[in-house]
């Protein structure tokens, strides 16, 4: 689980998030999409979550595992189907529902999930390898 510690002057039940871990985990667009799906739809089995793009179940489970390690997602037994687990936002995640959509306020940053849904989701899978910075080697000076 994420390294969330209570400090002496901090309100009880308000975790101290590991900023580097949160930024690292949320740097992957599919993981932000999974958070949005869970924020909007509540607990779901992994086979109903695909991060908004066509993904294998192994890929989705890998991303859910990273979100669990960061303390953002919890996994619980499914009362309707004992073979599958339900994934949900962790109770520690400070989810706020606003007129513009769900937000997560970590204290050091606010993740606006509605912005991701409108602006980033269509580019969730980057196209192939990135292009080189220079198409040709720079010209050598002539003497």
Q: How many CB atoms lie within 10 A of CB 134?
A: 7
**Looking at the domain 19-123, which fold is it?**
Arc Repressor Mutant, subunit A (1.10.10)
- What pLDDT does 54 receive? 58
Question: DSSP class of residue 116?
Answer: I
Taking each helix axis as running N to C, give the angle between helix 57-69 and helix 29-41, from 0 to 180 degrees, rounded to the nearest 10.
80
- What pLDDT does 70 receive? 94
- What pLDDT does 76 receive? 93
- What pLDDT does 118 receive? 55
- Positions in the chain short of pLDDT 70: 1-15, 51-55, 115-143
Can you tell me whether residue 88 is helix, strand or coil? strand
The domain locations on the chain are 19-123
């Amino acid at each position: 689980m994420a390294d969330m510690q209570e400090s002496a002057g901090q309100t009880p039940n308000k975790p101290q998030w590991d900023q580097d871990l949160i930024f690292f985990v949320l740097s992957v667009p599919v993981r932000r999409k999974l958070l949005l799906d869970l924020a909007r739809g509540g607990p779901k089995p992994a086979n109903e979550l695909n991060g908004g793009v066509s993904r294998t179940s192994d890929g989705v489970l890998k991303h859910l595992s990273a979100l669990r390690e960061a303390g953002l997602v919890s996994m619980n037994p499914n009362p309707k189907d004992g073979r599958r687990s339900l994934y949900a936002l962790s109770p520690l995640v400070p989810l706020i529902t606003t007129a513009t959509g769900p937000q997560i306020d970590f204290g050091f940053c606010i993740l606006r999930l509605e912005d991701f849904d409108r602006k980033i989701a269509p580019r969730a899978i980057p196209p192939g390898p990135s292009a080189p910075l220079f198409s040709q080697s720079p010209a050598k000076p002539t003497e």
